[in-house]
Amino acid sequence: MTVLAIDQGTSATKAMVVDGNQVLGLADVPITVTSTSDGGVEIDPEELWASVLAAGAQALARAGHPTIHAIGLGNQGETVLAWERATGLPASRAIVWQDRRSFTVCDRITGHGPRLAQITGLELDPYFVAPKLVWLRERVGEGPVITTTDVWLLHRLCGTFATDISTAGRSLLLDLDTGTWSPEACDLFGIDAASLPSIVANAQPLGDCTLFGGRVPVTGVCVDQQAALFAESCHTAGQAKCTYGTGAFLLACTGSRPTRSVNGLVGCPAWKVDDTTTWCLDGQVFTAGAAMGWLQSMGIISEPADLDRIGGAVTDSAGVTFIPALAGLGAPYWKPHAKAAFTGMTLATERGHLVRAAIDGIAAQVALLAIAAGRDLGTPLTRLRVDGGLTRSRTLLQVQADLLQTPVEVYPSPHATAFGVAWFAALGAGLVASSDVLGASTWHPAAVVEPQISADEAAERIAAWQHVAEATMDQ
């Protein structure tokens, strides 16, 4: 079961050659992300494509150029671009999921927000795909197609024009009950449903790729966070994970039924395998690793290890609070215009207090997402599985466990998304059966972090953070 898994992320493309749970080769190629003062976040599509080719080739070389039997692709979910379908050439820059400029589209149809939430399970917010499609269409005209990046990448990899159900679920255009494009939602955005790509399952043959040696079927596709949910064995209702990457994304499986959140989260498809769809709840912190990158650019930290070396050297933030709204606030607030803030500083404030406040701010918002998920599920989360680069910080993990009041289980690999799409690709190619995947993907945590403060203290700390967030988010 040798599979090439490509995880095309915001700041880098990762590629892994895997055989079951064994990594044979790994590569990571960075991508330049450009931010603008008006809320724009963009990527050069050709640089993105070059990173896919380079990462795949490097991973295969480091694995010793084995024969691969399938290819899987993970994607950013809400990043879009315009491109010429006849040639595959891009007709715009890629508009990244963090881009807030399509708030003007949301403002025009704000009265339809509740109806869109009922149809799609999503909030009317620039984070999701449809507002970006409309915003970009108004700038590039009627010629090129505009899709999420996975559609363009699949077209270049194997010639298909398709998106998987989990990515379609990020669009504000998918009917949550039927798993098909909603004519009503499309009409509200002025989008022709016939122009949209076909919706496919997460594990099925889509076409053959000849770019990595030989003719290899592309058989696995998934949006990044749902792929990580699958890899971390969150296959039944109530199991949840949080990925701490560019953003922090908490997903909780709801099993075989779609759930419409009444607590500020969104409901969406997790994956579809063997004609069976699994669903999840989703909450987002738009800047987690990105916030740490900002701290680094400002000279507050010099490297990620400073989260523990500097932020872990103080016992608390000494009254400083950080609101990580550098790209607005997602769930449960949905405030695209919110701005980040440090508050509570005095002449006695030290650098360590700022770093600790940043850690606390991210953990507090994740804790609110977990609380909201528990309310929607009807029972609190009993543990949280975590992955991503920031989980290297013991300080962050401890603060997170403290605020959650539940154990935090660390996934043993920083590449959960790649493992998820690898399993989907293996399933789609018929290399394994569904029952085999559910058994083989069982894993043991690299660490389990238990809470060390009382429930009352955790509630007080979350309430204090909420108070500052609510006081500053509309400034």
How confident is the model over 405-432, as a mean pLDDT? 94
**pLDDT confidence of 336, banded at 50, 70, 90?**
confident
User: Does the pLDDT value for residue 440 go beyond 60?
Assistant: no
How confident is the model over 19-38, as a mean pLDDT? 94
Domain(s) labelled CATH 3.30.420.40 in the chain stretch across: 2-231, 285-410+446-472
Q: What pLDDT score does 432 carry?
A: 87
| Gap between the Cα atoms of 240 and 372, Å rounded | 12
Q: What pLDDT score does 438 carry?
A: 60
User: Does the pLDDT value for residue 439 go beyond 70?
Assistant: no
pLDDT in tens, 73-130: 999 999 999 999 999 999 999 999 999 999 999 999 999 999 999 999 999 999 999 9
User: Does the pLDDT value for residue 441 go beyond 60?
Assistant: no
**Above pLDDT 70, what percent of the chain?**
98
| Gap between the Cα atoms of 181 and 178, Å rounded | 8
User: Does the pLDDT value for residue 134 go beyond 60?
Assistant: yes
Within 8 A by CB and 6+ apart from 104, the residues are 135
213 vs 121, higher pLDDT = 121
Q: Could you give phi then psi for residue 199, rounded to 5 degrees? A: -100, 125
Contact 48, 64 (CB under 8 A): no
For residue 4, is it left (φ>0), alpha (ψ between -120 and 50) or beta?
beta
Q: What pLDDT score does 342 carry?
A: 95
- Short-list 1, 423, 426, 389, CA closest to 227: 423
**pLDDT confidence of 434, banded at 50, 70, 90?**
confident
Strands (E) in 61-175, as ranges, are 70-75, 80-83, 94-95, 145-148, 162-164
Helix (H, G, I), strand (E, B) or coil at 81: strand
**Topology given in CATH for the domain delimited by 285-410+446-472:** Nucleotidyltransferase; domain 5 (3.30.420)
**Other CB atoms within 10 Å distance of the CB of residue 188:** 20
Identify the CATH number of the domain defined by range 2-231: 3.30.420.40
pLDDT in tens, 215-245: 999 999 999 999 999 999 999 999 999 999 8
Q: What pLDDT score does 448 carry?
A: 97
